[in-house]
Structures are given as C-alpha cells and as structure tokens.
Amino acid sequence: MQQAEIGVFGGSGFYSLLENVREVKVDTPYGAPSDSVFLATVAGRKVAFLPRHGRHHTLPPHMVNYRANVWAMRSLGCQAIISPCAAGSLQKHVEPGSFVVCDQFVDRTSGRKDTFYDGPIVTHVSPADMYSPVLRELAIATIKDHGIPVHATGTVVVIQGPRFSTKAESKWFHDQGWEVINMTQYPEAYLCHELGMGVVNISLITDYDSGVHAGAEAVTAHDVLAVFASNSEKIKKVVLDLISRIPADLSTVSSVGGLEFTRGDGHAATPEDIRLFKLLS
C-alpha cells in the first residue's frame, strides 16, 4: 500500500506543527536511514519527511546513509522529492538570505556510496539534466510568491565535509563561476534520479564561503546556524506551499523515462528485464 507520494528531506521543523503525523521505521537493503520517516497529509497529499542528519542533527554530511534514505522514500511510494538545504554562496550577487533553485551540480566528494547499480548488471544513469524542470519552475514561483529573493538557476558544488573550504578552494570554485556550495546534494539528489523520482533542490544561502569575497569573514558553523535559524520559517512555508502545487499526475515530474536505456546491454529489453524502480513501484 502506498504510504506517500511526495518526500521531503529536512528537519523536524517541516512536520512538527502538522496534525496526525505518523512515525514509521523503514528497513532497507542498505542499512538504516538517518531516522524514522514521518508521514503526514499536506494539502491533501501524502507526504514523507525524513531528517537527513537525524532528528537531533547527529549525523555529519559524510556519515549520512544516502542510499538508505533514498530507498526508504521510494519504498514508501514517493515519486517526487523536495531537497532543501543550507548552503554557502560563491558569488557576490548570491546574497545570504536568498534562495537558489539549482539546476546543475559538481561532485567534489570522495568515498561516498553513490549508486544503487553495483552490478552484476552494468547500468549508466545520466545526470546531465537531473533536476526536474517542472518541480524547479513550481519552486521558483512559490519562492517568489513568498517574497523571498530567488535565483532561478545555479550550480552547486558539493564538498565532502565536515570541514569547510580553504580560501584557495573557495576561490577556485568561485573562479569556475559556480554559485552554491553544500555538503549533501551529492549523492542524495542523484540517487533519487537513479530510482526514477523527480527531484528539486532549494538552497538556502547562509553565508559567503570562506570569506572569498572582499569584506566577508570566513564562515563558521555558528554563522551558518544563525542565518538558517532566522530563515527556517521561510523555507518551511515555501516547502509546504510547494507540496500543494505539485501536479496530481506525478508522471509529469518523474525521471523514470530517462532510465529506459541505461543498461550495459544497450537497447535490448524484454518483459523479464526487471528494474529497481519497478520493484519499488
């Protein structure tokens, strides 16, 4: 029985004020998710909330079991994922307090379990245009309606963490023209894509990364948390409003179509060709 249709990776603030929230524990082939999954109804939609760092923020970004988290969402029936996160700015025009709806990522992590396709059937899933264009447009419109400054495009570079960047690294990322820096978008968003779920990222800008801009101080964890706390109500309202705007027909936002010809045997397909995303349907 489908228990959810839309998933949100975020902390307890997203569901703490909702009524009739149900907590469920989900087993996965990849171990335990970061926490229980919290099920609720928002604007008539079945929604699953999962705090990626645990409800008490005890999991640093490099220790999050991303595969378990994403598998749990898909096994509950989710076909669309909203993935908000705190992030730093790499460009002066992307100011703290603004939101960025990213359309590309650059992976600078290392050693993370970042695919469901470990063999023996070789599978290559392209992330060239990974973020759902339908969900992105809805997110941009929702953020604008809430009066929050929003950047409609942006590349997020994902670093390993838990340390922040050096000034040299931050300047390198800045010079590449990338806008946002974060520690969790990869492999979280890509894994959603591998299972055919549409995904959208909303990056809440908390700081200028490592003082890369003249006159800006190097970022500290205290700075990030202070800005994020002051904007937590904004992102919560945006996410809950966005849920109400997602089409009832979730096939319009899913990425299942892009998985059709991803196996190493080319375009060969038979009725016996069972895919992971079909097993979870």
Task: Give the residue from 203, 170, 171, 166 showing the smallest Cα distance to 184.
Answer: 203
- Other CB atoms within 10 A of residue 6 CB: 25
Beta-ladder partners of 203: 85, 100
Q: Which residues are catalytic?
A: 207, 209
- Other CB atoms within 10 A of residue 272 CB: 5
Q: In Å, how far are 39, 130, 195, 274 from 71, measured between CA atoms?
A: 16, 18, 8, 17
Tell me if 231 sits within 8 A of 107, measured CB to CB.
no
**Phi, psi (rounded to 5 degrees) for 5:** -125, -25
Amino acid at 55: R
DSSP type of residue 117: -
DSSP type of residue 256: G
Tell me if 201 sits within 8 A of 52, measured CB to CB.
no
